[in-house]
Amino acid sequence: MTNDIVSIDTEIHSTDVLRYVESDGAHQLPEVKVDAESVAKRIDARIMSATSVAEVLGTDEVLHAQDYLNTPFQLLNVEWRPSDQPQGLPFYAVLTITTSDGEIVPMTTGARSVMLKAAKLHSLGALPLWVRIVKSDKPTEAGNFPLDLMAADSPGTF
């Protein structure tokens, strides 16, 4: 494996996530470098491309998947960030969601099943889609309760 030089704007894409898991880690992920100027430009672009009050105002609140169980939300988009956690996959997901109240917020998760399903849905062009996070009743051997992404009914129009 070679470590290719990449630009500052390189991102991990859903297809990279799927290839990485499918290849059992053999697929080389792009090296992502965080640059304050690039982050500022992304924030500016998100504001400028907003088409609703909710999108313009947004929130600085970040939900965590394990804190938002069994609550329907509309999954709008998924982005990937490198993870510095020693266990699990070398990335985590930042899901852009709309709550049932119409608020657009980011949600983070490192739950493998949730990430894989979000990556697959994104790569299929199936977003936006109403889903919910569920927690298993049974722990793994390590004592963790896995999370999963399931279909959910739309609560109606906002």
What is the per-residue pLDDT across 139-151, written as a single tens digit (0 to 9) for each? 888 888 899 999 9
What is the per-residue pLDDT across 30-68, written as a single tens digit (0 to 9) for each? 776 666 777 678 778 888 988 877 677 765 678 899 999
Residue in this structure with the two tokens 């100027």, named with its chain if needed:
37
Proportion of the chain above pLDDT 70, given as a percent: 86
Confidence band, pLDDT 50/70/90 cuts, at residue 6? very low
Look at residue 1 in the predicted model and tell me its pLDDT: 36
The residue type of 2 is T
Backbone phi, psi, residue 113, to 5°: -65, -40
Look at residue 118 in the predicted model and tell me its pLDDT: 97
Look at residue 8 in the predicted model and tell me its pLDDT: 39
Q: What is the pTM of this model?
A: 0.74
Rounded CA separation 46/55 (Å): 8
What is the per-residue pLDDT across 57-114, written as a single tens digit (0 to 9) for each? 765 678 899 999 999 999 999 999 888 888 888 899 999 999 988 888 899 999 999 9
Average pLDDT over residues 6-25: 76
Rounded CA separation 12/17 (Å): 7
